[in-house]
């Protein structure tokens, strides 16, 4: 769609140069292209506006218009700024607890159950942990089975209590079970829920306060559009989560939601999901994500 963003900006800026009117207004015009590109990449439109405001200041400071290739310089500026925005201090997972409890949260179908399996696999193999997976989705048809299948695939025990309709008590019992059986990590899978579903949001807030997790993760589908900000904000208000997981990045989505979420809640993006298989997990690289969003 905008593979040639840099060309476009070059053009726009050259045209302006030709007119001999190198002003703040001209830069602002050009930044409209950037904003449009960001919105096309699913960055929230308000955040895209703020972002281009920041870039504008920097562009004027760096005299973009006197550069030989002003478009390229502008793209570099944008890219660096994006990278910085999504970066920040590298954030691992808090494994200091005994056990360390990790709570998954997110919308329906975002990839929580799959990611729970991947994370268990990763912690088992890469960090020599002994995880326990916990089935706290008591609603979705076959959700418990799904977690059992996933657990079998990665060779990690799954705690479930079929018939128990209370996720809070399941979570508590699971943590006790983990302590008794030497599991040093507990990964709690929960049902998908909408941010506007008051009862379900209260439920997960209750799970959260009952087990006091070391790590609460918000799992987001990287194809999410403008609504990402609303969801992230509400989940963060209720859970004060520690990090974000971006799933389904093996697709061709630009993934602008990553910027929106980071801007709104200022929590690190910790891992990405890159496939349906249990080893399709990777740490998050802000610069790669910036390239992706800009279509480079």
Partner 1 sequence: AGKAKVDDEVLDDLEDVLISSDVGVATTIKIIRRIEERVARDKYLGTEELNEILREEIAGLLSETDSGTGDGFTFPKDKKPYVIMVVGVNGVGKTTTIGKLAHQFKQEGKSVLLGAADTFRAAAIDQLQIWADRTQVPIVKQKMGSDPASVAFDAVQSAVKQNVDVVIIDTAGRLHNKVNLMNELTKVKRVMQKVVDDAPHEVLLVLDGSTGQNAFEQAKQFTAATEVTSLAVTKLDGTAKGGVVIGISDQFQIPVKYIGIGEGINDLQVFNKFEFVDSFFKK
Ligand X SMILES: Nc1nc2c(ncn2[C@@H]2O[C@H](COP(=O)(O)OP(=O)(O)OP(=O)(O)O)[C@@H](O)[C@H]2O)c(=O)[nH]1
CB-facing half-sphere around the CA of 228: CA atoms within 13 A: 32
Instruction: Answer yes or no whether residue 183 interacts with ligand X by CB under 6 A.
Output: no
Which strand ranges, in their side-by-side order, compose the sheet holding 281-283?
157-159, 131-136, 185-190, 100-106, 215-221, 243-247, 269-273, 281-283
Closest to K ion by CB, 10 vs 221, is 221
Q: Do the beta carbons of residue 194 and residue 202 sit within 8 Å? A: no
Instruction: Answer yes or no whether residue 143 interacts with ligand X by CB under 6 A.
Output: yes
Closest to partner 1 by CB, 25 vs 149, is 149
User: Site for K ion (CB under 5 A): which residue of 53, 88, 109, 182?
Assistant: 109
Q: How far apart are CA 50 and CA 53, in angstroms?
A: 5
Question: Hey, which residues between 206 and 245 contact K ion (CB under 5 A)?
Answer: 221
Closest to Mg ion by CB, 18 vs 141, is 141
Instruction: Answer yes or no whether residue 32 interacts with ligand X by CB under 6 A.
Output: no
Closest to Mg ion by CB, 139 vs 285, is 139
Minimum CB separation of residue 260 from ligand X in Å reads: 19
Instruction: Answer yes or no whether residue 242 interacts with ligand X by CB under 6 A.
Output: no
Q: Which does 187 bind (CB under 5 to 8 A by kind): K ion, partner 1, ligand X, none?
A: none
Instruction: Answer yes or no whether residue 254 interacts with partner 1 by CB under 8 A.
Output: yes
Q: How far apart are CA 126 and CA 36, in angstroms?
A: 41
Minimum CB separation of residue 142 from K ion in Å reads: 18
- Strand, helix or coil at 273? strand
The stretch near Mg ion (CB under 5 A) out of 112-120, 124-132, 163-171, 260-268 is 112-120
Instruction: Answer yes or no whether residue 42 interacts with K ion by CB under 5 A.
Output: no
The residues that bridge with 271 in the sheet, in sequence order, are 245, 283
Exposure string of 256-274, with b = 16+ CB inside 10 Å and e = fewer, is bbbbbbbbbbebbbbbbbb
Q: Which residue has the tokens 């943590």?
A: 175
User: Site for Mg ion (CB under 5 A): which residue of 113, 236, 247, 263?
Assistant: 113
Question: Hey, which residues between 199 and 218 contact ligand X (CB under 6 A)?
Answer: none
> CA 124 from chain center: how many Å?
23
The residue length of the chain stands at 296
Quick one: tokens of 143? 């959700």
CA-angle at 11, arms to 8 and 17, nearest 5°: 145
Q: Which of 163, 102, 149, 154 is nearest to 126 (CA)?
A: 154
Return the C-alpha torsion angle 38, 40, 43, 46, nearest 10: 80
User: Site for ligand X (CB under 6 A): which residue of 15, 90, 149, 194?
Assistant: 194
Q: How far apart are CA 84 and CA 87, in angstroms?
A: 5
240: left (phi over 0), alpha (psi -120 to 50) or beta: left
Instruction: Answer yes or no whether residue 22 interacts with partner 1 by CB under 8 A.
Output: no
Question: Hey, which residues between 99 and 118 contact partner 1 (CB under 8 A)?
Answer: 107-111, 113-114
Closest to K ion by CB, 87 vs 225, is 225
What residues line the site for partner 1 (CB under 8 A)? 36, 39-42, 44-45, 107-111, 113-114, 139-143, 145-150, 153, 194-196, 221, 223-228, 230-231, 248, 250-254, 256-257, 276
What residues line the site for ligand X (CB under 6 A)? 106, 108-114, 137, 140, 143, 191-192, 194, 247-248, 250, 273-276, 280
What residues line the site for Mg ion (CB under 5 A)? 112-113
């Amino acid at each position: 769609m905008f593979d040639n963003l840099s060309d476009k900006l070059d053009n726009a800026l050259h045209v302006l140069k030709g007119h001999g009117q190198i002003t703040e207004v001209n830069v602002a015009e050009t930044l409209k292209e950037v904003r449009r590109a960001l919105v096309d990449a699913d960055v929230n439109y308000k955040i895209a506006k703020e972002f281009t405001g920041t870039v504008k200041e920097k562009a004027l400071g760096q005299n973009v218009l006197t550069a030989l290739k002003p478009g390229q310089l502008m793209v570099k500026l944008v890219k660096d700024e994006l990278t910085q925005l999504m970066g920040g201090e590298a954030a691992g997972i808090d494994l200091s607890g005994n056990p360390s409890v990790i709570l998954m949260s997110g919308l329906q179908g975002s990839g929580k159950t799959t990611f729970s399996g991947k994370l268990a696999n990763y912690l088992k193999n890469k960090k020599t942990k002994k995880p326990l997976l916990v089935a706290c989705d008591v609603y979705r048809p076959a959700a418990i089975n799904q977690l059992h299948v996933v657990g079998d695939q990665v060779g990690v025990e799954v705690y479930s209590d079929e018939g128990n309709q209370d996720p809070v008590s399941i979570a508590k019992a699971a943590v006790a079970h983990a302590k008794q059986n030497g599991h040093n990590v507990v990964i709690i899978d929960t049902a998908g829920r909408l941010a506007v579903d008051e009862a379900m949001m209260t439920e997960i807030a209750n799970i959260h306060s009952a087990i006091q997790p070391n790590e609460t993760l918000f799992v987001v589908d990287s194809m999410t559009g403008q609504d990402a900000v609303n969801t992230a904000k509400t989940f963060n208000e209720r859970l004060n989560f520690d990090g974000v997981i971006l799933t389904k990045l093996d697709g061709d989505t630009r993934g602008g939601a990553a910027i929106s979420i980071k801007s709104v809640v200022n929590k690190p993006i910790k891992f990405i999901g890159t496939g349906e298989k249990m080893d399709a997990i990777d740490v998050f690289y802000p610069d790669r994500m910036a390239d992706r969003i800009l279509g480079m």
